[in-house]
Amino acid sequence: MRKYYGIIVLLFCVKIGTAQTENSTYKNDSTILKKIADDVMTNGTAYENLRYLCKKIGPRLSGSTGAEKAVLATKKMLQDAGADTVYLQPCMVTHWVRGAKEVGYAVVDNKKIALQITSLGNSEGSGGKLIGADIVEVKTMEELHKLGTAVKGKMVFFNIAMNPTLIQTFSAYGASGVGRRSGPSEAARYGAIACLVRSLASNVDDHPHTGATRYNDSLAKIPAVAISTSNAELLSANIKAKKKVQVFFKNNCTMLPDVLSYNVIGEIRGTTYPEEILTVGGHLDSWDLAEGAHDDGAGIVQSIEVIRAIKAAGIKPKRTIRSVMFMNEENGGGGGNAYAAFAKEKKEQHIFALESDAGGFTPRGFTFGMSKEKIAAIQQWEKLFYPYGVYELRAGGGGSDIQPLADMGVPVSGLRVDSQRYFDVHHAETDIFEAVNKRELHLGALNMTALIWLVSEYGL
C-alpha cells in the first residue's frame, strides 16, 4: 500500500488547493460585488438621470425632437459617468408621426359615448376624416378568419384580453398581442374599413396603450387604434347585450420616410483583452404618449449606471465594456440593426450583450440566449447574485436591440424583473417617472453591473 500514500496525499492536497482557490475567488468576487452594490444603492445616479430623461425631455419617439435631445443628454450622462470614450453611431430610423390627437366615440343604440383611443404605432390614419361603421368583435384571430368577408365595410374589434392566470405577464402580452401586431392587415384582408384593438394591459382603466403594428404590404393599410381596457369591456358588454354598436373616429397619423438618428455609446476599454467587447444597453426611444420611464428610460439609465459603478469601484475591467443607448426599438429596430451591421463590418469581437427592457422593477433573474455549457458556467455564479435578490439564471432571450447580435451568434442576456406592474403602464400615458421606485431601479442596475463585471473578468 505504501507506494500509493504519496499519490493519495498529493490528490488530497490538490483537492484542498482547488477548494481554497475556489473559495478565495468566490470571496474576492463577492467582496467586489458588495462594493458595487453598496455604492449603487448609496450613490447611484440612475434615478436622477431618469428624472432628467422623463421630466426635462419626456417622450422620445424616433425622429422626434425629444429623441434628438435624448441623444445629447445621454451622451453627457455617459461622459459624467466616466466612460473613457463616448460617441454617436449613425443609424436610419422610422419616422412615424401621430399628428393631432385622435377623437373617437361609440354610438350604442343611438347614445353617443366618448372613447379613449390612441393610434397604433406605424399605422395610417383616417387623414383627419371621421370614419365609422358597425363593429364586429373577435376574441381570437381564428374567429376573424371564420367570419371572413362578413366583416366587409365594418370595423373589427380585437378584444383579446391578457390572460390573468399567466404569472409571467410577458407571456400574456405575447399571446394577446396578435391583434395589435397583425390584426389591422388581417382585418383588411376581408374588407374591414378600420380596426379597434383592446389595449394590451393587465389592468382595466381608462388609458389606451399604443404599440407598433405591422402592415402586410400586399393589403390595404386601414386605420387602427387601441382603445382603453375599460372601453373594451364596455363595448363588449353592449355587444353581448345585443345592442347596436357603431364606432366613429378620426386620426391623423402617418408614416414618413426614414431619418438619420443615433445610437449613443460609452466605452470603458478593457485592460487585458480590449478587443473583446461586452455590450450593455436599453433603448433610448420611447412612445410619444408619456415619459417612457419604465419603457425604457429604466434600461437606459441602468446601462449608464454600469459605467459609473465600475468606475466608482475602481475596477479595471479586462474586457471592453460598451454601454449602448439603442435608438428606434419601438417601431423599427434601426439602432439595433445598425449596431450589429457595424460590428460585422468592422469584424468586432462581441463576446456578450445584455439588455434591460422589461421595466425598472425589482430584478429576479437573467435569461441567457447562448449554449447550455455557457449557461451552466454562468449558473455557477448564482450564489453571488442571491444577496441582491437575483435567483433565476436560466435560458431565454436577450432583447430586441441585441437580437441582431444574437442572430450573428453573440451570446445574449436579458434582465428579468418582477413583471406584475409593467403592463399597467406599458406604452400608455401612465409610464411616468413617478411609476418607478428608486431602490428597484438601482437594484436592477447593480445586478447588471455585477453580471457585466463577472463576464468581463472571466469571459464566457
Question: Interface with a second copy includes 394 (CB under 8 A)?
Answer: no
Q: How far is the CB of 423 from a second copy (least distance, A)?
A: 9
* Residue among 109 and 392 whose Cβ is closer to a second copy: 392
* Residue among 249 and 422 whose Cβ is closer to a second copy: 422
**Do strands 363-369 and 412-417 pair parallel, antiparallel, or not at all (unpaired)?**
antiparallel
Which one of 71, 138, 443, 452 is in contact with a second copy (CB under 8 A)? 443
Of 106, 195, 186, the C-alpha closest to 149 is 186
Question: Interface with a second copy includes 230 (CB under 8 A)?
Answer: no
Consecutive H or E run containing 25: helix 2-43
* Residue among 169 and 176 whose Cβ is closer to a second copy: 169
Structural contact between residues 278 and 455, judged by C-beta atoms closer than 8 angstroms: yes
Question: Interface with a second copy includes 418 (CB under 8 A)?
Answer: yes
Beta pairing partners, 247? 106, 133
Q: Which residues contact 280 (CB under 8 A, 6 or more apart)?
A: 303, 306, 321, 322, 323, 324, 353, 354, 355, 356, 448, 452
Stretch that binds a second copy, among 190-198, 219-227, 309-317, 414-422 (CB under 8 A): 414-422
Helix ranges, 44-151 (H): 46-51, 65-81, 141-147
Binding mask 145-184 for a second copy (x = CB under 8 A): -------------------xx-x-x---------------
Stretch that binds a second copy, among 5-13, 287-295, 321-329, 439-447 (CB under 8 A): 439-447
Footprint of a second copy on residues 184-223 (CB under 8 A)? 202-203
Stretch that binds a second copy, among 182-190, 284-292, 319-327, 416-424 (CB under 8 A): 416-424
Count of residues in contact with a second copy, rule CB under 8 A: 26
Stretch that binds a second copy, among 80-88, 281-289, 369-377, 385-393 (CB under 8 A): 385-393
Structural contact between residues 427 and 289, judged by C-beta atoms closer than 8 angstroms: yes
Which one of 181, 362, 458, 459 is in contact with a second copy (CB under 8 A)? 362
Cα distance between residue 261 and residue 336, in whole Å: 12
* Residue among 201 and 265 whose Cβ is closer to a second copy: 201
Q: What's phi and psi for 385, nearest 5 deg?
A: -85, -25
Which cell numbers in the block locate residue 359? 421595466
Binding mask 30-69 for a second copy (x = CB under 8 A): -------xx--xx---------------------------
- Angle at the Cα of 178 (from 291 to 363), degrees rounded to 5? 50
Instruction: Tell me the DSSP string of 154-202.
Output: SEEEE-----TT-SSHHHHHHHHTHHHHHHHHHHHHTT-SEEEEE---S
* Residue among 96 and 173 whose Cβ is closer to a second copy: 173
Which residues are at the interface with a second copy (CB under 8 A)? Answer: 37-38, 41-42, 164-165, 167, 169, 202-203, 362, 364, 387-389, 391-392, 418, 420-421, 424, 437-440, 443
